[in-house]
């Protein structure tokens, strides 16, 4: 009640519903019109929207309780959980690339990626712990194993992956136990893809409209964004002679990320809107610009160490902004009752229509 950012109060109070619920009483006639407009919207949108144009969804007519959000607001801090998503992805994909570099004899590429993986997964775990209401109770995460809770699955995954990433990095730094080091590198590389993707079900498995509705594409967005970031680190930290695969992964990841996230935002319709608006919109646009710029630089700067490094840095930053943009879009969609009420009302009405017809 005290923190408007958490209660969502004020933020969502807009339009005709802001005054009282009374203003929201819709007459039969008005309701008929609303039905019409929704119909028009559906056919209108199929006409296709040129890229870059803002998603134009007609002002949705809906009712709410004094304009207040239906959902309780996300209590996570953007820095902590956005960072947790980004660093987890960076770690996982770095381990995959490190394993590839190890197997194909590119130590100059493998070593920095192993360090990155350890640092990133430590940072990711620290961010998660920092965000807990009771950080000292972090180990309660390991009281149970619950497949219905992606956070539980993720915690166990980190317990398996963390030590492998650690062993890979430490053996690379010290040169001790090289065979154990190789085994750990490959083990971490095998778990890496899961570490990079489990965070997508984690956020999608909520009632937050702009997260839940994207559950099909989100893992692909996260995986490709992670690949772009890890590839970026490869470009940043390894000699050009060994960075070829990192470059290819970076460019492939970057292009896939931009394509899949744009597709996702478009397919979600109304609840895709927050990805183009306000802070989430700014973050998402910046992320795409950095990612595409980084990819272009990675291709053009093939022979230049400096340009490669710059492109790598842009890709890493783009990946971080992607996660922050996704996070912020979720926050915005939970704060506005429109995104909860309108799609559910539509679903309900469609169901009633089909029942009537049947």
75-104 residues near other proteins, rule: CB under 8 A:
75-76, 93, 96-97, 100-101, 103-104
Residues 163-192 that bind other proteins (CB under 8 A): 192
- Residue 41: count of CB within 10 angstroms of its CB: 16
Using an 8 Å Cβ cutoff, are 334 and 73 in contact? yes
Q: What's the CA gap between 34 and 17, in Å, rounded?
A: 15
State the nearest-atom distance from the C-beta of 47 to other proteins, in Å: 28
Stretch that binds other proteins, among 36-44, 48-56, 160-168, 221-229 (CB under 8 A): 221-229
Nearest residue (CB) to other proteins, 41 versus 206: 206
Segment 296 to 355, residues that bind other proteins, using CB under 8 A: 330, 334, 337, 340-341, 344-345, 347-348
Taking the C-alpha atoms of residue 11 and residue 335, their distance in angstroms, rounded to an integer, is 7
Minimum distance of other proteins from residue 246's CB (angstroms): 8
CB of 328 to other proteins, least distance (A): 14
Q: Which of residues 13-32 bind other proteins (CB under 8 A)?
A: 20-22, 24-25
* The one segment of 160-168, 193-201, 269-277, 320-328 that binds other proteins by CB under 8 A: 193-201
**Minimal CA–CA distance to 101: which of 230, 223, 229?**
230
- 140 belongs to the binding site for other proteins (CB under 8 A): yes
Stretch that binds other proteins, among 178-186, 219-227, 270-278, 304-312 (CB under 8 A): 219-227
120 or 334: CB nearest other proteins: 334
Residues 120-139 contacting other proteins, CB under 8 A: 131-135, 137-138
How many degrees, rounded to 5, is the angle at CA 251 between CA 247 and CA 254?
A: 135
Does 253 help bind other proteins (rule: CB under 8 A)? yes
Following DSSP, what letter does each residue of 64-94 receive, concatenated?
A: -STT--SSPPP-S-IIIIIHHHHHHHHHHHH
* Residues 43-62, interacting with other proteins (CB under 8 A): 62
Q: Which is nearer to other proteins, 215 or 263 (CB)?
A: 215
Compare residues 74 and 237 and give the one whose CB is closer to other proteins. 74
Going from the C-alpha of 238 to that of each of 107, 111, 170, 183, the distances in angstroms are 9, 9, 18, 22
Could you tell me how far CA 265 lies from the centroid of its own chain? 12
Contacts of 23 (CB under 8 A, 6+ apart): 16, 17
- Residue of 4, 33, 65, 259 interacting with other proteins (CB under 8 A): 65
278-297 positions binding other proteins, by CB under 8 A = none
CB of 50 to other proteins, least distance (A): 28
* Separation between Cα atoms, residue 349 and residue 357, nearest integer Å: 12
* Minimum distance, C-beta of residue 172 to other proteins, in the bound complex (Å): 18
Count of chain residues binding other proteins (CB under 8 A): 92
Cα–Cα distances (Å) from 87 to 116, 220, 290, in that order, read 10, 16, 18
Q: Are 333 and 274 in contact (CB under 8 A)?
A: yes
**Cβ distance 249 to 196 under 8 Å?**
no
**Element at 285 (helix H, strand E):** helix 278-300
Q: Which two tokens stand for residue 155?
A: 């915690």
In the complex, the smallest distance separating the C-beta of residue 218 from other proteins, rounded to whole angstroms, is: 8
The verdict on 194 binding other proteins (CB under 8 A) reads: yes
**Can you tell me which of 86, 220, 275, 327 binds other proteins, judged by CB under 8 A?**
220
Asked if 328 and 78 touch (Cβ cutoff 8 Å), the reply is yes
């Amino acid at each position: 009640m005290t923190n408007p950012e958490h209660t969502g109060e004020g933020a969502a109070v807009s339009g005709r519903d802001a005054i009282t619920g009374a203003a929201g009483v819709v007459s039969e006639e008005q309701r008929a019109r609303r039905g019409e407009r929704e119909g028009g919207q559906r056919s209108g949108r199929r006409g296709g929207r040129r890229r870059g144009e803002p998603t134009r969804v007609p002002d949705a007519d809906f009712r709410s309780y004094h304009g207040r959000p239906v959902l309780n607001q996300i209590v996570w801090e953007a820095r902590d959980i956005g960072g947790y998503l980004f660093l987890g992805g960076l770690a996982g994909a770095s381990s995959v690339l490190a394993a590839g570099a190890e197997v194909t004899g590119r130590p100059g590429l493998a070593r920095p990626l192993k360090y990155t993986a350890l640092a990133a997964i430590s940072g990711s775990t620290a961010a998660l712990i920092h965000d807990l209401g009771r950080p000292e109770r972090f180990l309660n995460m390991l009281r149970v194993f619950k497949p219905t809770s992606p956070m539980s699955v993720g915690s166990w995954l980190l317990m398996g992956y963390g030590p492998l990433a650690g062993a890979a990095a430490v053996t690379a730094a010290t040169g001790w136990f090289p065979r154990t080091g190789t085994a750990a590198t490959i083990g971490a590389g095998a778990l890496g893809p899961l570490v990079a993707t489990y965070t997508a079900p984690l956020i999608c498995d909520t009632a937050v409209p702009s997260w839940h509705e994207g559950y099909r594409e989100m893992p692909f967005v996260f995986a490709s964004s992670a690949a772009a970031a890890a590839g970026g680190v490869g470009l940043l930290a390894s000699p050009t002679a060994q960075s070829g695969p990192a470059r290819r992964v970076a460019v492939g990841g970057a292009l896939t990320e931009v394509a899949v996230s744009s597709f996702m935002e478009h397919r979600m319709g109304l609840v895709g809107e927050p990805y183009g608006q306000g802070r989430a919109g700014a973050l998402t646009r910046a992320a795409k610009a950095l990612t595409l710029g980084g990819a272009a630089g990675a291709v053009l700067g093939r022979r230049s160490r400096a340009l490669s490094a710059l492109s790598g840095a842009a890709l890493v930053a783009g990946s971080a902004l992607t996660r922050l943009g996704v996070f912020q879009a979720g926050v915005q969609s939970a704060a506005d009752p429109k995104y909860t009420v309108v799609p559910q009302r539509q679903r309900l009405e469609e169901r009633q229509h089909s029942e009537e017809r049947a």
